[in-house]
Amino acid sequence: MKRLTDAERDAALSTVPQWEYGALRGGVIRRVFVFADFTQAFAFMTQVAFHAEKADHHPEWANVYNRVDITLTTHDADGLSQRDVALAQVIDRIAEGMQRP
Q: Which residues bind ligand H2B (CB under 6 A)?
A: 56-58, 74-76
Nearest residue (CB) to ligand H2B, 25 versus 93: 25
Instruction: Fill in the DSSP letter of residue 36.
Output: S
Nearest residue (CB) to ligand H2B, 51 versus 58: 58
Residue nearest to ligand H2B (CB): 75
Where are the alpha helices (H) located in 1-101, listed in sequence order?
6-13, 38-55, 82-95
Q: How far is the CB of 66 from ligand H2B (least distance, A)?
A: 24
Distance CA 56, CA 60 (A): 13
